[in-house]
């Protein structure tokens, strides 16, 4: 297993969109496993491929207490959403910062699994918020886009400073194509 480099805001590569996946092969499985490993190592509950500089529509999530219920969502789509909720969000790409964001508390979503089979499911609360946050990543969007320009700029400045001081790792992501 491989630890992948997580890009940090305001890296422009976080603005790229993920490409729809149409090949369900070993390569996809390896990427998914490495993403899950990276997410667990970083104490995250969700990670999108775009965050590790891989531009495909793949998300890994685990919101379980024991961190043993991984979800792999390929080409996820939200089909319905209701009941707004304000949730204090963070992000592995925005380390150390948390801000309230308005989301939907109740969603139905569909996705393909790693074998290519189509599923539909419901989610609410933390899982629903996490799916919305991660699908945003696949469209080049970050939770800080939902907060004020002033706050977002301040966060960008602080992360850049920490990176320049070597507090955050600034390894270059490895380019990848599928
Ligand atoms: C997205 O975020 C999310 O700042 C996933 O120092 C967040 O896994 C969805 C993390 C909240 C719903 C609610 C952040 C780890 C992890 C940090 C994460 C940090 C270490 C964030
Ligand atoms: Co995130």
Report the DSSP beta bridge partners of residue 114. none
Q: Does ligand 1 lie within 6 Å of residue 48's CB atom?
A: no
The pLDDT score that the predictor gives to residue 32 is 98
CA distance 105 to 75: 21
Confidence label for 174 from pLDDT (cuts 50, 70 and 90): very low
Residue 105 and residue 82 in contact, taking contact as beta carbons nearer than 8 Å: yes
* pTM score: 0.95
DSSP secondary structure letters along 35-59: HHHHHHHTT-SEEEGGGGT--BSEE
Tell me how far apart the alpha carbons of residues 104 and 131 are, in angstroms, rounded to a whole number: 10
How close is the Cα of 18 to the center of ligand 2, in Å?
14
pLDDT-based confidence at residue 136 (cuts at 50, 70, 90): very high
- Average pLDDT of 53-75? 98
Domain architecture of the chain: domains with CATH: 12-164 (3.90.45.10)
Q: What is the mean pLDDT of the segment spanning 36-42?
A: 97
Question: According to the model, what pLDDT value does residue 167 have?
Answer: 83
Q: How is residue 126 written in tokens?
A: 């933390």
Q: How far is the CA of 26 from the centre of ligand 1 (A)?
A: 28
pLDDT over 80 (residue 176) = no
């Amino acid at each position: 297993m491989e630890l992948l480099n997580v890009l940090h805001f305001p890296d422009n590569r976080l603005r790229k969109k993920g490409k729809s996946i149409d090949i369900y092969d070993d390569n996809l499985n390896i990427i998914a496993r490495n993403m899950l490993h990276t997410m667990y190592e970083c104490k995250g509950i969700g990670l999108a491929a775009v965050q590790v500089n891989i531009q495909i529509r793949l998300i890994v999530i685990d919101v379980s207490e024991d961190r043993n219920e991984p979800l792999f969502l390929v080409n996820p789509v939200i089909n319905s959403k209701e009941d707004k909720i304000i949730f204090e969000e963070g992000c592995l790409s925005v380390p150390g910062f948390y801000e309230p964001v308005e989301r939907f508390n109740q969603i139905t979503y569909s996705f393909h699994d790693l074998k290519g089979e189509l599923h539909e499911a419901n989610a609410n609360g933390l899982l629903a918020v996490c799916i919305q946050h991660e699908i945003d990543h696949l469209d080049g969007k970050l939770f800080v886009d939902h907060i004020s320009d002033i706050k977002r700029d301040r966060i960008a400045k602080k992360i850049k400073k920490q990176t320049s001081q070597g507090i955050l790792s600034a390894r270059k992501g490895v380019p990848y194509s599928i």
